[in-house]
Amino acid sequence: MYFLSCVVIGIIVVGLIAAYLSEMYLTQILIIQNILIFMIVFIPALRYPFVLKEVVIDLAGMPMYLQTGEKLYTLFTLMFLHGGFLHIIGNVLILFFIGIPLEDRIGKKNIAIVYFSTGLMATMGQFSFQFAVGWGLNIPNLGASGAIMGLMGTMVYLYPKDKIPMFLGPIFMPEVRVDLAVAVFIMLQTVIAFMNPYGQTAHAAHFTGFGFGMALAPLLRRYITREKTAVKRDYSKLEKLATDEKLEKAYEKIEGSDEEEMREAWAEYILNKAECPECGGNLDDGGCECGFDMWED
């Protein structure tokens, strides 16, 4: 294996361990990993093209690997490679605008489930397309687009009315409803796919990732919604934790919602962001190591 490929694998492993052990968002770690890997691979390749070729041979996925059983690890590593500046910039921006708000709501563990499972299914969707049309079974597949489309599908299913930033060409819009932003993006993807179905863009991966993300969302919602006890939580107790503008807005969403699942999701957001009012420590489901319990009378 080429030495730079080993460096890439090291960055992937160290980054995921850091995400597990630290309080950083997984989304933040993924953004850093993707940019760092792109820089150490693609920039040298501008002068020495063989660098990118060697890394792609080692770490990009190909449909024929499913036939031969070779390099199955590339089903995972391909999510951390990108083929050009526009590729990495587009993916990082969408990951930032979609991934961080979604991780705010569902947590690090669940964002990992969505990201890597939809990324894998997106790759399988692209490979299935290539098998079906008998086209390019040895063409490398790389990029995080399928996984990012999975996050998009989950976000639009769970939180369609929330607002996120969005670029529409050169125009930056700071607040756009998720369902509108996603609808525009999917329409653009569909038009591009029909105009150039056999181009370099893995359209099948994009649509598969998005569809699987939407299919996963209702299962995820049931999983992250806590079992309710006979005594209903008094969400008004969270008001004293709303010590900044973001937390105040989250508390307002709790007060303004009639859906228990939505209220619980925003309560979890507040508890993840707020500090213990007695010692300043982290709150775990409302409890702190100092003995403070948010839900006690």
pLDDT the model gives residue 229: 39
According to DSSP, the residues that pair with 282 across neighbouring strands are 275
* Mean pLDDT, the chain, integer: 87
pLDDT the model gives residue 26: 96
pTM assigned to the model: 0.76
Give the domain ranges of the chain. Answer: 3-224, 234-297
pLDDT the model gives residue 146: 93
Say which CATH superfamily domain 3-224 falls into: Rhomboid-like (1.20.1540.10)
Dump pLDDT digits (tens) for 185-237.
Answer: 899 888 877 777 666 678 899 999 999 999 999 988 877 665 433 346 788 88
Dump pLDDT digits (tens) for 6-64.
Answer: 999 999 999 999 999 988 999 999 999 999 999 999 888 888 888 888 999 999 999 99
Q: How many CB atoms lie within 10 A of CB 232?
A: 8
State the angle between helix axes of 26-45 and 50-59 in degrees (0 to 180), rounded to the nearest 10: 140
How far is residue 286's CA from residue 297's CA, in Å, rounded to a whole number? Answer: 13
pLDDT the model gives residue 92: 94
